[in-house]
Amino acid sequence: VWAQMVELEQEVERRQRLGPESAARKALIASSYHPARPEVYDSLQDAALAPEFLAVAEYSVSPGADLKGLLQRLETVSEEKRIYRVPVFTAPFCQALLEELEHFEQSDMPKGRPNTMNNYGVLLHELGLDEPLMTPLRERFLQPVMALLYPDCGGGQLDSHRAFVVKYAPGQDLELGCHYDNAELTLNVALGKVFTGGALYFGGLFQAPAVLTEPLEVEHVVGQGVLHRGGQLHGARPLGTGERWNLVVWLRASAVRNRLCPMCRCEPDLVDDEGFSDGFTREEPTTVDVCALT
């Protein structure tokens, strides 16, 4: 019991350091880093987005748009699991973003881990890509789409995100064990490069990993994004050859998570932090939209 208490205290201290350490890295990067592809940092342009994605977003804000009409414009990977796929970025934009990420990776700038399970990758807010790229992507395009796909999971109330790129390569991370995301909803976009293996696999909603027997496997397609609920049990198969880079966006709705933490399934006890942090807010939302409460 004593050892568990010490471990718990160490984890609390680690989490308390995350915000200040991340802010320090972001400030140093902003002052000292020289991008290889500065155009990536410009405000998100429609030219970076796949025509199919633009069409989906445009339909979602049109008068009379409904789920049936939206599903005609998306690939349904699994109706039962509510997993969908759509092209998100153009090939040239994927290439430019990859070149910039590799340039940053090879620089001597400090780098934060994307999450507790991935050791290799980039936190986009530290690189300065949240404001020009990820926030417009969430507000202008993902929010109206998710509102139709997942209204019961806060899809229409997304007010923050955590975006990061994960890298899988020989001698580095090769696979990812099954887990849930600290998100109401997730977008996972394959950026490249050339690789074999590494397929995503999915179980049930908040399913215990131990009882995962026949998961659904989904192959990556460069430029295309997989949309799923954060509580959908999932993981990644081992990489075969090459390198795989994916952009993962955890989409969060404080109206949902303020009532029920998606990780412990309990009412959260909040502490103050900087930026979006984990997506909770102290303000009471005017409406509550809770996924899988029953």
- For the segment 200-210, what is each residue's pLDDT rounded down to a tens digit? 999 999 888 77
Q: Pick the range with the lowest mean pLDDT from 159-163, 165-169, 212-216.
A: 212-216
Q: State both tokens at 278.
A: 């984990």
Alpha carbon of 9 to those of 12, 15, 152, 182: distances in Å? 5, 10, 35, 21
Q: In this prediction, what percent of the chain has a pLDDT beyond 70?
A: 90
Q: pLDDT at position 280, please?
A: 53
Residue of 226, 194, 232, 267 whose CA lies nearest to 80: 232
- The answer to whether residue 167 scores a pLDDT higher than 50 is yes
Q: pLDDT at position 30, please?
A: 96
Whether the CB-CB separation of 231 and 180 falls below 8 Å is answered with yes
Q: State both tokens at 32.
A: 């000292």
Beta strand spans in the chain (E): 75-78, 83-87, 121-123, 160-168, 176-179, 185-192, 195-197, 200-205, 216-218, 224-229, 232-236, 239-242, 244-252
**185 contacts: CB under 8 Å, gap ≥ 6:** 146, 150, 153, 154, 155, 158, 227, 228, 229, 230, 251, 253
Whether the CB-CB separation of 56 and 145 falls below 8 Å is answered with yes
Whether the CB-CB separation of 144 and 59 falls below 8 Å is answered with no
Whether the CB-CB separation of 91 and 215 falls below 8 Å is answered with no
177: left (phi over 0), alpha (psi -120 to 50) or beta: beta
The model's pLDDT over 76-95, given as tens digits with 9 standing for 90+, comes to 999 999 999 999 999 999 99
Residue of 216, 230, 236, 213 whose CA lies nearest to 150: 230
In which band, very low, low, confident or very high, does the pLDDT at 290 lie, cut at 50, 70 and 90? very low
State whether the Cα torsion 42-47-49-55 is positive or negative.
positive
Q: Which residue has the tokens 């192959």?
A: 219
Q: pLDDT at position 46, please?
A: 97
In which band, very low, low, confident or very high, does the pLDDT at 288 lie, cut at 50, 70 and 90? very low
What letter does residue 50 receive in the DSSP assignment? -
Per-chain mean pLDDT for the chain? 89
Average pLDDT estimate for 248-259: 90
CATH top-level class of 16-255: mainly beta
Residue bearing the bigger pLDDT, 189 or 11: 189
The model's pLDDT over 230-249, given as tens digits with 9 standing for 90+, comes to 999 999 999 999 999 999 99
Q: pLDDT at position 164, please?
A: 95
State whether the Cα torsion 116-264-259-60 is positive or negative.
positive
Q: pLDDT at position 208, please?
A: 81
Average pLDDT estimate for 11-31: 86
- The answer to whether residue 273 scores a pLDDT higher than 90 is no
Domain coordinates in residue numbering, the chain: 16-255
In which band, very low, low, confident or very high, does the pLDDT at 4 lie, cut at 50, 70 and 90? confident
Start-to-end CA span in the chain (Å): 33
Q: pLDDT at position 284, please?
A: 55
